[in-house]
Chain A
Amino acid sequence: MEHTTLAHHLLLAGLLFALGLTGVLVRRNLLVVYMCLELMLAATTLAMVAFSRFAHKMDGAVFVFFVITVAAAEVAVGLALIVALYRRRGTIQSDALNLLRD
C-alpha cells in the first residue's frame, strides 16, 4: 500500500469508536468504562484530524485542541467522582450501584 487514504483513517477511527462503545456497554468496572469513553473521544478526534487534513483545512484540527481540553476537564471531574465513590462504597463495579431504585 503506497498511500494511506481518508478511508483508511476513517476505518481505524470507526473501529476504535465501536471498540469504545462496546466497552462502555459491556464492561462492569467503572474505571474501564471510563477508559472506553475516552477511547471513543480519541476516535472522534482521529476522524476529525483526518477529515481536516484531506480537505486541506485547518479548522477541524484546531477544534481537536478544544476537544482535548474538554476531555481533560471531564477526566478531572470523572476520576474525582469515581475515587470518592470507591472511598465511600469500597467498590467501583457498576453492579454494586444499586442504591437508587424504586
Chain B
Amino acid sequence: MTSLLANIDPAFKTLAPRAADWLSILPEIAVAGLALLCLLQALLLPPAQRWLQPATARVGLLLVLVMSLTDGTPWNLPHGAENFPASFFTGADGLPAFHGLLRVQLENSEAVRLVFLACALGTSLLAGRFLRDRGVSVADYHHVLLIVTAAFMLLARANHFVVFFLTLETAAVGLYVLVGNLRRSAASLEAGVKYLVAGGLSSALLLMGIVLIYGSLATPTNDSLGFADIAAALQATQGNVNPLTLVGVALVFAGAAFKLGAFPFHTWIPDVYQGAPTPTTALLATASKAAGALALFVLVTGPFAALGAKLGPLLAGLAILTLLAGNLAALAATDVKRTLALSGVAHAGFLLAALAVAVVAPNVHFETIGGLAISAEHAIYFYLYAYILGTFLTSAALVSLPVAEDHDRPLLGLRGLLRRSPVLASALGFGIGSLAGIPPSAGFVAKLIILALLVKAKLWWVLGVALVGVAVSIHYYFSLLREAFIRPTEDGDELAPLPVPASTRFLIGALCAATLALGVAMLL
C-alpha cells in the first residue's frame, strides 16, 4: 500500500509512518483491538458464554499493562534507547515519527500508560456485577470503556493539535455514552445530557482556541497546528504576542480545564458524577481528571512554554480558586457521590498547584529521605496514583452497597456500615483516609510532596489556601466516616450483614495494600 502510494506521489514516502512508529504505540493499538474484540463477543457469544466477556477485557488489560511496564521495548524508548540504532527513531531521512503527530520518545511513557490502564481495569472490575444487576450489556460498556482508554493514552502523547482534538473528542463522546448508559434510569440520562451540553460547549471553545492559534501563527511554511512549530513561533515573538494568539491559548486552556474540572469549569461535576452509574463516576473522577492534568502539563511545558511568565500566575490563581470552590461546596453537600465529586474538584486544585510549580520553578525538586529527587511532573503522577487508589476504594464500597436508586445516596445510607460489612467499611476507611491525606497513606505523601514543592517555589498564597483546604476537607471526609463507623443505627433490620463477593474482597485488599505500600515506600 505504502509503496503503491509512493509511486503516485514521492512526497508520501517521507510522510508515511514507519514500522517503528507503529511499534511505539503498540499498547494503545492493543487496547483499541481489545475494544473491537469486545464488540465481536457481544455479537457472537451465545448467552451461556457471556461470562467470558468481562474476563477477556480484564485479562487483555492485564497483558497490556505487563507489556507497557516492560523496559527496553520499542514502545518504552527512554529506557531501551541504547538498544536501538538512531535511525530507528527518526528513519533514515531524519524525520520525526508520525511526522511529528505524536511524541514517540516520551519520558514517563510507563507512568502515563499505568494511569489509564489502571483506571480502565478498576472501572471494569466495578462495572461487571453493577451492570448485570441492572440488565445492561456488559460487552457494550467494555467496548466504549476501552476506546476511551486508548484515546486518553494517545492524548497524553499528542504532539499536534489535530491529534489533541481528535483523541480528546473520541474520549468525550465515549464518556457521554458511559454516563447515559443506564437507559431506564432518568438520573443517568439527565446526567448524560448535562455532560453532553457542558462537554459540547467546552469542545467548541477548545476548537475556537485551536483555530485562533493556527490562524494567528500561520506562515506559508510552518505547521502552526504542530506543538513544535507553535513553541518556536511563540519563542520568536519574545513576549510580544499577538492578542489573537493569547485568546486562542486561553480558550484551549478552558477546554483542558473542563476535563480536569478546574474553576470555573467545575459546575457540571456534582450533577454528572451523581447521576452517572457509579463505575462511570469512578472513571470520570480518575481517567478524565488525569487526562485533563496531563494534557495541561503537555501544553504548558510544550507549545506554550514561551508564555510561562503569563501562565504561571494564571495556573496559581486557578489552583487557589479551584481549591476554595471544591472544598467549600463539598462542606455543604449531603449526598455521598456529590461530596466525593466536589472533593475531586479540590484534588484538581492540588494538581493545578503542582502544574503552577512546573511552570514557575521548573527546576525545583523534593528530596525524599531515601534520596529520590521528585520533580513537579513526578509529583503530578504520584498524586494521580494516590487519588486513583483512594477513588476506586471508596467507589468499590459504594458499588457494593445495595440502594434503590444509584443516584440517591444520602450520608445516612452509610450508617452502621462497620457492623454490616467490615470489608466495605475498611475500603471506605482506607479510601477516604488516603483522599483526606492521613499518614502514612499514599494520599498523605502525595499532598506532602506538592506542599513541599510549593514552599520551594515560594508560591505562598497557593500554599496557604491548600493548607486551609486540607483542614476543611478533614471535616467533610470525616462526616462520611462518622456515619459509617460511629453513629448508632436505630432500627435493627437495617443491620443485615452485606455479602461481599470474593472478587470485590480481592480488589479491596489489593487497593488497601497498594495505598499503604506506596505511602510507606515513599516515606522511607
Contact = CB atoms under 8 A, between A and B. Distances in A.
Nearest to B276: A100
A8 interface: no
A61 to B, nearest CB: 11
Interface in B412-447: none
Contacts of A41: 203-204, 207
A57 B183 CA distance: 45
A55 B218 contact: yes
A89 B186 contact: yes
A37 to B, nearest CB: 4
Contacts of A100: 187, 190-191, 194, 270-271, 274-275, 407
Interface in B222-236: 223, 225
Contact of B204 (A20, A56, A85): A20
Interface string A43-74: 11001101110011101100100110010011
A77 interface: yes
Interface in B447-494: none
Given A51-B218, A66-B165, A78 B189 contact: no
A41 B205 CA distance: 9
Interface string B300-336: 0000000000000000000000000000000011110
A48 B214 contact: yes
A24 B197 contact: yes
Contacts of A24: 197, 201
B339 to A, nearest CB: 9
A14 to B, nearest CB: 9
Chain A interface SS verdict (over half): helix
Chain B interface SS verdict (over half): helix
Interface stretch (B6-14, B169-177, B353-361): B169-177
B204 A77 contact: no
Interface string A81-102: 1101100110000000101111
B45 to A, nearest CB: 24
A30 interface: yes
A37 B204 contact: yes
A88 B183 CA distance: 8
A67 B165 contact: yes
B190 A97 contact: yes
Interface in A19-47: 20-21, 24, 30, 33-34, 37, 40-41, 43-44, 47
B397 to A, nearest CB: 21
Contact of A17 (B169, B200, B208): B208
B162 interface: yes
Interface in B136-191: 161-162, 165-166, 169-170, 172-173, 176-177, 180, 183-184, 186-187, 189-191
Contact of B225 (A21, A56, A59): A59
A53 to B, nearest CB: 11
Given A24-B197, A60-B214, A84-B183, A99 B275 contact: yes
Interface in B205-221: 207-208, 211-212, 214-215, 218-220
Given A33-B197, A63-B162, A84-B183, 4 more contacts: A70-B165, A74-B169, A74-B200, A100-B187
17 contacts: A21-B201, A24-B201, A34-B196, A37-B197, A41-B203, A41-B207, A51-B211, A55-B219, A63-B225, A73-B173, A74-B172, A77-B176, A82-B193, A88-B183, A89-B190, A101-B271, A102-B338
Interface of B: 161-162, 165-166, 169-170, 172-173, 176-177, 180, 183-184, 186-187, 189-194, 196-197, 200-201, 203-204, 207-208, 211-212, 214-215, 218-220, 223, 225, 270-271, 274-275, 332-335, 338, 407
Interface of A: 10, 17, 20-21, 24, 30, 33-34, 37, 40-41, 43-44, 47-48, 50-52, 55-57, 59-60, 63, 66-67, 70, 73-74, 77-78, 81-82, 84-85, 88-89, 97, 99-102
Closest 6 CB pairs of A and B: A51-B215, A40-B204, A55-B218, A37-B200, A100-B271, A85-B189
